[in-house]
Structure 1
C-alpha cells in the first residue's frame, strides 16, 4: 500500500544546500516508490530579501554576512559540489558568481503551483539549474522566462505575472507564516505539517524519516 505524505519544501533558489536537499529528497522518494508518494509543495523563503537589482558579488556578500575568507568559501563550494554530485546535481564550477534578489522567482513558483501537477516542481528545478548550475542572473526577467519555458510552462502568462505585482502578497504571507513557525534556515522540509527535516541531509536520512512517518512511527 502506498502512503501519501504532504511535503512542504521551504527554500530559496539562492541557497545551494536547497539544491542538494531537493536532490536527496527526490532520490529517497525514488527508493521508496510503491511505499511512499509525495504531495509536494514548494514554499518561499528569501535569504536576501533586501538585495537590490543586479545583486552583489558572492565572495563580498559571504564575507560581509558570515565573515568567511575566500579560502573557506572555496572549501565550502567543494563540499557542496561533492554533495550535489551524489544526488545528480551539477553546480557551476566557479560558483554562483553573484547573489540576487529572488522575490520574482518566488512569485512565479507560486503561480506555477496552480498550473497543474508537477509544474511547480519542474519550475523549481529549472530555476536551480539556471542559477546554481549555470550561474545565470536569476533576477533578470528573460532568465526567469527561459526557465519557465524549460519547465514546459506558458512563458507569456509568466511574463504577465512578472509585469504586475501578482502573487506578491501571497508570497509575503507564506514567508511570514514560516518565519512565525520558527523557520530560520533552509532547506526546511516539513512533512504532514508536523515533522521537520532541516538542511541538505543525505539520502539515507530522508529515506529513513519518510519510511518511519509513513508507517506512523
Structure 2
C-alpha cells in the first residue's frame, strides 16, 4: 500500500490545557492509520500576551477573564484532570497554581523546529507546566526542558537571552490571528481544513480518512 502524506499545523499555547488534550486525541486518531507520512508543526499563540513577569493566580485569572466562580473553576479543573488521566497525561492543579506569559517558550519552540525536536519540546513544556507546576516564563525552566529532550543547553540559553526569534514569533502569531484564529487548539490539516478545539478521536479520524481518500 502506498504511503500517503498529511501535513498538520497546530496553533497552540503552553498555557492551554485543551491543547495537550487535543494533541493526545490527535495521536489516538493517527494511530488508526498505517502508511501515513505525517509532518507536524507547532505554531505560537499567546493566551495572555500582556501577562506580567510574575504571572497571576490561576483562580483569579479565570474569574477575571471568564467570570467563573471558584466552584465552577474547581469543577473544570477536576474535569480536565480526569480527561488527562484517561489520555495518559497528569494535570496537577492546586490552589497555588499560576498562569504565565509564554513568549519565551514560543521562541524556544521556534528554534527547536530545525532540529526536529519541536514536538518533544512542546510535550516537555506541557509536562513542566501542568504536571510539575513550573514557570514556563523562567529561562532555567525552559533550558531544563530543552536539555530533557536532547537539545543543547548553551544554545537554548543563548536563544532565550538574545531573543533572536522574538519578532519572528510575534509576526507569526499575528499571521494566524489575521487568518481568523482566536482560540486554541486550532489544528489545520493540509493547509486547508481547520479543526477547532480538542475534538474526539473519531471526528479527527473521519477527517483524515476523507483527506487521504481524496488524495488517493
Q: TM-score range by the shorter chain?
A: over 0.9
Paired position in structure 2 for 1:31: 32
Contact 2:93–2:130, Cα closer than 8 Å, also in 1? no
1:5-24 aligned within 5 A: 5-24=6-25
Q: How far off its partner does 1:33 sit?
A: 3.1
- What is the distance in 1 between the residues matched to 2:172 and 2:211? 25
- What is the distance in 2 between the residues matched to 1:17 and 1:145? 24
- What is the distance in 1 between the residues matched to 2:155 and 2:23? 26
Paired position in structure 1 for 2:172: 174
Unaligned runs of 5+ in 2: none
Q: How far off its partner does 1:136 sit?
A: 0.8
Give the TM-score taking structure 2 as reference length: 0.95
Q: How far off its partner does 1:93 sit?
A: 4.4
Unaligned runs of 5+ in 1: none
Contact 1:96–1:135, Cα closer than 8 Å, also in 2? no
1:49-60 aligned within 5 A: 49-60=49-60
Contact 1:20–1:83, Cα closer than 8 Å, also in 2? yes
Contact 1:95–1:135, Cα closer than 8 Å, also in 2? no
Paired position in structure 1 for 2:212: 214
Q: How far off its partner does 1:96 sit?
A: 7.7
Contact 1:96–1:131, Cα closer than 8 Å, also in 2? no
Q: Check 1:33–1:134 CA distance in 2 against 1; reply closer, same or farther (3 A cut).
A: farther
Point out 4+ residue stretches in structure 1 off by more than 2 angstroms.
93-96
Q: How far off its partner does 1:107 sit?
A: 0.1
Q: Check 1:26–1:96 CA distance in 2 against 1; reply closer, same or farther (3 A cut).
A: farther
2:196 to 169, 194, 198: 198
Contact 1:46–1:103, Cα closer than 8 Å, also in 2? yes
- What is the distance in 2 between the residues matched to 1:28 and 1:130? 25
Contact 1:105–1:139, Cα closer than 8 Å, also in 2? yes
1:128-167 aligned within 5 A: 128-167=126-165
Give the TM-score taking structure 1 as reference length: 0.94
Question: Tell me, what secondary structure is at the counterpart of 1:197?
Answer: strand
1:27-176 aligned within 5 A: 27-34=28-35, 36-94=36-94, 97-115=97-115, 117=116, 119-176=117-174
Deviations 1:82-139 (A, max 9, x none): 2222222111142780010000000000000111x3x001000000000012111111
Root mean square deviation of aligned Cα: 1.4
